Amino acid sequence: MTTAMAAVLLSLGLIQPPGAIAADGASAPRPAAVPPEHLVLNYHLMHPGGESLPGDPNAAFYLDGLYHLHYILQHPWKDRRSFSFVHVTSPDMLHWTWQATKLQPAFTGHGMFSGTGFLTKEGKPAAIYHGESSGKNQIAIAKDSKLSAWEKPYPVDVRDASGAELKINHWDPDCFLIGDTYYSISGGENPPLLKSKDLKTWTRVGDFLRHDMPDVAKGEDISCPNFFPIGGKWMLLCISHDLGCRYYLGDWDAKGEQFVPTSHARMNFRREGQSLFSRESWRADFFAPESVLTPDGRRVMWAWLATADRKDGLMSNLTLQSLPRELSLPEDGILRIKPLRELETLRFDPTTAESIDLTQAARTLLADRSPPGTKIADLSGDSSEIRITIPRAEAERKLFGFTVYADGKGGGLPIVFRPEYGTLRVGTAEAPFSIADLPKGEDVTLRIFVDRHIVEVFANDRQALLAHHAEYAGHPTLAAFTVGAPTRLGKVESWKLHPTNQGFREAQKDRVWEPSPR
């Protein structure tokens, strides 16, 4: 979370200013709560303690056989509210255990806003982040690989050639090591690039971006950045506060010490009713990304589902994280986005159906209703994975789709392929995905992950969307429909998924993560 976001949340009354006192003289913090049971997810990572806005994932590591992830928690501190990094660990990025919160204002002296994790030249885990109320970006270095203790954080100190302090924007930093040089970027439309040999004294190199891309609107900032090599290129994973998660691909100019982007794409897609461009009425279902490199070389990312359950332009208090996504860049230069392969270990009770004919072609497809369609899978248990394969010849130029939690009357969550626009629609959000652009002979493969009210959809490992559907209870049907012409589905495979939220249940009880209020 950035100072820019904090200012907006303050103006909307979603957080309290320093020193805010309630009318009865008590401190302003709200009482602790727990998520309502119908909103508790089975295998997504979510905060166990009730209201917790914001929820940016941060400082991810793989250390000694365990994955470590942090996320921001807003909580009472002294006479106001402040922010800590809650710490969770997992052997597989699915089963999470909550640890005692170490990076909190009682230790740092300031709140924790977004940043990233990295390893020092000596192999020590470190976090760079914006110190809320400190006015500076900060660096903290862990004392051990369990992240059970940290050295006192210190500010990023930027000097000019004469040794005088330089004034830069301090928010949402990233730090990465190239050769024997540390580089850091801070927030902004074109963030400043800093460098250091020792993480102590920093000098400004210049602008981080050589140029911006034509599909980036002026006014979009680069925040929550994460810069790393992938498939022979470099990737800048980030957000703009106005439009949500996005990424650049390009090259690192080692001599000029600058990132040269060659392409840019979105990972967050506007729902109907959301603003066109704003950070006051948020449109950030997929927001504030963080990634980690696995020991077998996979780049895995998470994002905060910041508004997925809201229709009013405000951010969610639930703190939900997306499913972990594997990112890769093959020789064709098209980013692949796959659900974490470890999800397959959760499968049980498989079913398969083949050659399903959808012969009753509807003539009308409304924006908020689907044709009744044909039942193709059972979603009882509200924790499922479905993989649907459609032969290329059957999918070409077809307007067809599926309804998750179908009620038999057109209600439910629609998933629609739209050849007339080259998009994939999930709920009321649409993202670029054209079947015609797939390599010749490649069939259409859709993977749908259902976790109570959250549904995530992956298409041919090239596009991913998510949606919230509150009316999931009592509708255990996945239906398929076709519009204008018959369509034959090749194969429909489904599995129920075992829950991974045992650690969440324990953390609801023991509240080991709860920061000190003083």
Cβ contacts of 412 within 8 Å, gap of 6 or more: 370, 403, 404, 405, 406, 469, 475, 477, 479
Tell me, yes or no, whether 330 and 460 share the same domain: no
Tell me, yes or no, whether 335 and 352 share the same domain: no
In a domain, 187, yes or no: yes
Cβ atoms of 384 and 495 within 8 Å: the answer is yes
Tell me, yes or no, whether 319 and 378 share the same domain: no
DSSP H or E stretch at residue 11: helix 3-11
Question: CA–CA separation, 399 vs 361, rounded Å?
Answer: 10
* Torsion sign over Cα 6, 10, 13, 16: positive
Q: Could you say which of 283, 309, 339 is where a domain stops? A: 339
Q: Given strand 125-132, what is the order of strands in its sheet?
A: 111-119, 125-132, 136-141, 154-155
Question: What is the model's pLDDT at position 369?
Answer: 87
Cβ atoms of 301 and 116 within 8 Å: the answer is no
Question: CA–CA separation, 265 vs 123, rounded Å?
Answer: 33
In this structure, the number of other CB atoms found within 10 A of the CB of residue 432 comes to 14
Tell me, yes or no, whether 417 and 301 share the same domain: no
DSSP H or E stretch at residue 487: strand 487-497
Question: What is the model's pLDDT at position 4?
Answer: 54
Tell me, yes or no, whether 315 and 370 share the same domain: no
In a domain, 203, yes or no: yes
Tell me, yes or no, whether 289 and 391 share the same domain: no
Q: Could you say which of 294, 321, 339 is where a domain stops? A: 339
Tell me, yes or no, whether 392 and 256 share the same domain: no
Question: CA–CA separation, 126 vs 100, rounded Å?
Answer: 17
In a domain, 39, yes or no: no
Instruction: List per-residue pLDDT tens for the chain, 518 residues long.
Output: 555 555 545 443 444 443 333 323 333 444 445 788 999 999 999 999 987 889 999 999 999 999 999 999 999 999 999 999 999 999 999 999 999 999 999 999 999 999 999 999 999 999 999 999 999 999 999 999 999 999 999 999 998 878 888 888 899 999 999 999 999 999 889 899 999 999 999 999 999 999 999 999 999 999 999 999 999 999 999 999 999 999 999 999 999 999 999 999 999 999 998 999 988 888 899 999 999 999 999 999 999 999 999 988 889 989 999 999 999 999 999 999 999 999 999 999 999 999 999 999 999 998 888 999 999 999 988 899 999 999 999 999 999 999 999 999 999 999 999 999 999 999 999 999 999 999 999 999 999 999 999 999 999 999 999 999 999 999 999 999 999 999 999 999 999 999 999 999 999 999 999 999 98
In a domain, 366, yes or no: yes
Cis bond upstream, residue 289 (ω within 30): no
Question: Where in the sequence is the domain holding 378, given as residue range(s)?
Answer: 343-497
Q: Exposed, middle or buried: residue 217 (CB in 10 Å: 0-12, 13-18, 19+)?
A: exposed
Q: Residue 395 maps to which CATH number?
A: 2.60.120.560
Cα–Cα nearest to 250, from 287, 222, 209: 209
Question: What is the model's pLDDT at position 23?
Answer: 29
Reduced to 3 states, what is the DSSP secondary structure of residue 233?
strand
DSSP class of residue 99 equals -
Q: Residue 194 maps to which CATH number?
A: 2.115.10.20
Reduced to 3 states, what is the DSSP secondary structure of residue 83?
strand
Q: Could you say which of 339, 358, 374 is where a domain stops? A: 339
In a domain, 314, yes or no: yes
Domain count, the chain: 2
Reduced to 3 states, what is the DSSP secondary structure of residue 481?
strand
Tell me, yes or no, whether 352 and 327 share the same domain: no
Q: What pTM was computed for the model? A: 0.94
* Torsion sign over Cα 105, 108, 110, 116: negative
Tell me, yes or no, whether 327 and 453 share the same domain: no
Tell me, yes or no, whether 393 and 484 share the same domain: yes
In a domain, 359, yes or no: yes
The one-letter amino acid code at 55 reads: G
In a domain, 105, yes or no: no
Cis bond upstream, residue 54 (ω within 30): yes
CA distances from 393 to 44, 416, 443, 488, 490 (A): 35, 17, 8, 9, 11
Rounded to a whole number of angstroms, the distance between the first and last alpha carbons of the chain is: 22
Question: What is the model's pLDDT at position 313?
Answer: 85
Question: What is the model's pLDDT at position 160?
Answer: 83
Tell me, yes or no, whether 262 and 146 share the same domain: yes
In this structure, the number of other CB atoms found within 10 A of the CB of residue 211 comes to 12
Tell me, yes or no, whether 305 and 444 share the same domain: no
In a domain, 66, yes or no: no
